[in-house]
Structure 1
Amino acid sequence: MAVRRTPRFYFSLRSPYSWLAYRDLLERYPTLANELDWVPFWEPDELSRRLLAEAGGEFVYTAMSRAKHLYVLSDMRRLAADRELEFSWPVDREPCWEIPHLAYLVACRHGAGPEYVAHAYRARWQEGRNICDRATVARIGDALGLDADELASASDDPEVRREGVEALLAIYRDGVFGVPFFVHGFEKFWGVDRLPAFAASVPLPVRADAGPLPVGAPGRTDEGHAGGCG
């Protein structure tokens, strides 16, 4: 009999839709949130792309058009207002997305993946800070009581890079083309508005009104538009 893999949530610290899905998941489906594998999704730099290709994978995401970007700005205002959320739209100048996402993998090693995600999302989407700035990641490390330099320099560590390639391979193998993206068995769900359908597909005693978890997400370690973002 084939082994069924743990249901997975592909999230990106860059994506505003991932941020909303993260909040909805914790507030509406906390039991489910604790049972998922949380896999970071990011646009790899040249080194990660080379390592990914050497491992037999590729990154299939394509950057959004200007028209889609303008749509996302308007759409996020609506979705945030529906949730009574205020947010700050950050400005990304020559970002290196390995910096915050590989730092997440390091935080997971220390059992602080959930807290790192919470702090990183808050920094980016509520405080408008640049999470690709190593100083921002170091401050998150300090706030979590972790080695700030270890988190800030995660992208320089060959071992962490290799772990990151495993995440990129999972993205490739699951056919993830945008985020948030949920996978359960052979079923795939793209977009924040697909979260209820994903939750319904997982046989857990999950209640949509179960209330929020404590601070932090649980975590274990395009084309078209459906509430997904590139």
Structure 2
Amino acid sequence: MNRVCEYYFAPQSPWAYLGHQRFVDLAKKHAIRIDLKPIDLGKVFPISGGLPLAKRAPQRQAYRLVEMQRWSTHLELPMNLQPTFFPVAADSAAHLIIAAQLAHGTETALQLTGAIMRGVWAEQKNIADTDTLAGIALDCDLDGKALIKSSETSSVSAEYERFTNEAIANNVFGVPWFVFNGESYWGQDRLDFLERVFQE
């Protein structure tokens, strides 16, 4: 059995934030290797029928907030439902995560990913700002300025584009999205199903 789980996500997603640490913990518990793949939702949505938040119907926007509050309370995760810096461009954050993975490995990149997500949803940080991102990296015991520089290279951009194109080819239409043994699971509310197959 292939003990690798592909993890497609966008750093600015509230649902990825709500599920990130739970997924990381599940993978560690069951000795599953995570294949970390940040993607550009701005390219995925138009192809898959998704809409950015501002273009969704009012009733959908309202219910989204209700569900976010429910999950935040249920998981006991701090969450600003309407953070100061959202919507936010997340390309720089995704690039930083990829640079961290290339330089320091997946475990470090996962830690940085969690810190960036908390920055948006719990700490009112602007993850589109490179100085802010460098500070988040520094808090993870990384050289933030050096990592920012690495994140701006063409090789990192190519990886980001590759992950996004791969997501489109694999019919990903939302995040977080998990692929294990060829089967897809969409959403942090599908982690129970994912754990069941991890145990098989």
Question: The TM-score by the shorter chain falls in which range?
Answer: 0.7 to 0.9
Equivalent residues in 2 for 1:133-212 (5 A)? 133-153=129-149, 156-203=152-199
Distance 1:32 1:176, change over 3 A: farther
Distance 1:13 1:130, change over 3 A: same
Rounded to whole Å, the distance in 2 between the matches of 1:42 and 1:6 is: 22
Structure 1 stretches of 4+ moved >6 Å:
none
Shift of 1:28: 5.0
Quick one: which of 46, 63, 68 aligns to 1:76?
68
> Which one has the bigger helix percentage?
2
**1:105: which partner in 2?**
98
Corresponding residue SS for 1:202: helix
Shift of 1:129: 1.1
Distance 1:96 1:86, change over 3 A: closer
Cα displacement string for residues 26-71 of structure 1 (whole angstroms, at most 9, x for unaligned residues): 4555324752212113335xxxx6xx9xxxxx85343240422222
Rounded to whole Å, the distance in 2 between the matches of 1:35 and 1:168 is: 20
Rounded to whole Å, the distance in 2 between the matches of 1:83 and 1:196 is: 14
Paired letter, 2:125: R
Distance 1:33 1:92, change over 3 A: farther
Whether the 8 Å CA contact 1:138–1:152 is kept in 2: the answer is yes
Paired letter, 2:6: R
Corresponding residue SS for 1:25: helix
Whether the 8 Å CA contact 1:17–1:191 is kept in 2: the answer is yes
Q: Which consecutive unaligned segments of at least 5 residues does structure 1 have?
A: 53-57, 205-230
Distance 1:146 1:28, change over 3 A: closer
Corresponding residue SS for 2:4: coil
Whether the 8 Å CA contact 1:8–1:184 is kept in 2: the answer is yes
Rounded to whole Å, the distance in 2 between the matches of 1:93 and 1:29 is: 29
**1:227: which partner in 2?**
none
Larger deviation, residues 153-162 vs 170-179: 153-162
Equivalent residues in 2 for 1:44-59 (5 A)? 44=42
Shift of 1:81: 0.9
CA RMSD, Structure 1 to Structure 2 (Å): 2.8
Paired letter, 1:17: W
Whether the 8 Å CA contact 2:26–2:195 is kept in 1: the answer is no
Whether the 8 Å CA contact 1:8–1:39 is kept in 2: the answer is yes
**2:17: which partner in 1?**
19
Shift of 1:196: 1.0
